[in-house]
Structure formats: structure tokens, C-alpha cells
């Protein structure tokens, strides 16, 4: 779904917030455990055990980068054909798990619902390929009374460059018809935070598997519990004033 076709006019809030852009894995829903399980299983088949450090380094990355990290960690060499087969195995395993259940992260569903109900524009921006992301999107839409909370969804195989490049978020902003100065991005990984900041947005970084260093424009939180529209406006105001903040 490149867009919802919803042409409603986006209300501008007093604080200038018009859109909220969400990452998916590890930010809205707990799918990172699926990727970890599939990667650990592959590592065992290759005769080794993936370290926790290597697993954390794969968060938010493309499949090619993740496979390279795994191979380096195990000290194995794989051909391009083997890499493609390994990546397909991991994605198929994750797809099976995604199709079975959807686990919201604390505060995520409540925040997404509040943002959508307030009439703000919303986007899902994920590195996950469309065929896997749609499994999660369909779960979310099925539980939404009006067909789904996202105006735009952008997946990792639909962009000219993946996170940490700003391209995914810039593409979503253009589709939403908003400027970076009117947006808050919500992420959990270093590559995602870097992408959002590089796109010019204020960013909320949710604690996850990967440590993310402080940066101007970034507000770090343990979970999304207790985060609502006033907090989003506060984050945007701090970014506009060029005052880095830590919650």
C-alpha cells in the first residue's frame, strides 16, 4: 500500500506538528525476536552460534548487511547464490512467525491510535521488504475500526536507498505532503534514528537491542508508554529550538 487514498486535509496543530512517521520492527511491534530466532537457526545450520553483539548489529539493516554480519561473526564464506538462499530462508521463517501473531510493544498501539484519531498524517517506514511488512500491516488494519491508521507505507524494497540514508523518510514525507520541520519520527535502531535525523525530522528513539548515542534532535525513551500528543509536540519544539533533550 503506497498510500491510503485518503485526501483529508491535515490539521496543523498549534505546535506545528502535522505528521508522525513510525518504524515497524522493534518500535511498534515485537518482530525483532522473529528475526533473531531465524538468524540464530541459520547460524546453527552453518555450524556456529551467532553472538549477541552481531545480532544487535543487524537491527534495522538490510538482509545483505545482516547476512554479511552473520558470516563475519561465524567466520564463514558464502557465495552470492548461497547468500540469496540464506536470506530467503530467514525471510520465510520470519513470515511464518509474523502471520501467526502480532505483539504490540508497550504504548505503541495507544500512541498510533491517538495520533490517527487527532487527524495527524501517519506513515510506516520500514526496512522490511513489502511481502513481510504487509503481514504486519494487515494485522494492524484488521484491528482498526476505519481500515487502518497509516496514510502511507514505505518498505525497504521500495526506496532508492535504505536507512541510514534519509531517502525512506523523505519519500514518506513527500507522499504525505509535509515538510521535515512538521514531523516526528519514532525509531528504535541506530540506522533508523540516523535516517530520521538526516531527513530533518525530530526523532524519538525507543530503547531496543542496539545502543543509540545522544544526538541533537533526538529524544530517547525506554518505551512509548505515557507518550501522547503533548509529548510529541514537546519533542518537535525542542528540535525546532535546536535543544537536544533526553527523557
Q: Are 22 and 123 in contact (CB under 8 A)?
A: yes
Residue 146 is among the residues annotated as catalytic for this protein: no
Q: How far apart are CA 74 and CA 61, in angstroms?
A: 18
Least Cα distance to 21 among 190, 198, 202, 194 occurs for 202
Catalytic residue, chosen from 6, 23, 73, 146, is 23
**What value, to the nearest 5°, has the Cα angle with vertex 115 and ends 113 and 120?**
135
Q: How far apart are CA 170 and CA 109, in angstroms?
A: 24
Residues with Cβ within 8 Å of residue 225, at least 6 apart in sequence = 106, 107, 110
Half-sphere exposure of 96 (CA within 13 A, CB side): 7
Terminal-residue alpha carbon distance, the chain: 34
Instruction: Compute how many other C-beta atoms are within 10 angstroms of the C-beta atom of residue 87.
Output: 17
What are 221's strand-pairing partners?
206
Catalytic residue, chosen from 6, 25, 151, 188, is 25
Residue 23 is among the residues annotated as catalytic for this protein: yes
Residues designated catalytic = 23, 25
Amino acid at each position: 500500500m503506497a498510500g491510503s487514498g485518503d485526501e483529508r486535509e491535515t490539521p496543523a496543530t498549534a505546535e506545528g506538528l502535522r505528521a508522525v512517521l513510525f518504524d515497524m520492527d522493534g518500535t511498534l511491534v515485537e518482530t525483532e525476536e522473529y528475526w533473531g530466532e531465524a538468524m540464530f537457526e541459520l547460524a546453527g545450520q552453518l555450524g556456529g552460534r551467532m553472538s549477541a553483539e552481531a545480532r544487535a548489529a543487524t537491527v534495522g539493516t538490510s538482509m545483505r548487511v545482516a547476512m554479511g554480519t552473520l558470516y563475519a561473526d561465524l567466520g564463514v564464506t558464502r557465495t552470492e547464490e548461497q547468500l540469496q538462499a540464506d536470506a530467503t530462508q530467514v525471510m520465510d521463517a520470519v513470515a511464518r512467525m509474523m502471520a501467526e501473531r502480532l505483539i504490540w510493544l508497550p504504548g505503541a498501539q495507544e500512541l498510533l491510535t491517538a495520533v490517527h484519531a487527532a487527524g495527524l498524517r501517519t506513515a510506516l517506514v520500514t526496512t522490511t521488504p513489502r511481502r513481510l511488512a504487509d503481514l504486519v500491516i494487515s494485522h494492524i488494519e484488521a484491528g482498526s475500526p476505519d481500515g487502518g491508521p497509516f496514510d502511507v507505507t514505505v518498505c525497504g524494497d521500495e526506496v532508492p536507498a535504505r536507512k541510514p540514508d534519509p531517502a525512506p523518510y523523505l519519500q514518506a514525507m513527500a507522499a504525505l505532503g509535509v515538510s521535515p520541520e512538521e514531523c516526528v519520527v519514532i525509531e528504535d535502531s541506530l540506522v533508523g534514528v540516523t535516517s530520521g535525523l538526516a531527513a530533518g525530522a525530530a526523532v524519538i528513539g525507543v530503547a531496543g537491542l542496539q545502543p543509540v548515542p545522544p544526538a541533537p534532535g533526538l529524544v530517547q525513551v525506554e518505551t512509548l508508554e505515557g507518550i501522547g500528543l503533548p509529548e510529541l509536540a514537546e519533542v518537535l519544539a525542542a528540535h525546532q529550538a535546536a535543544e537536544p533533550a533526553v527523557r
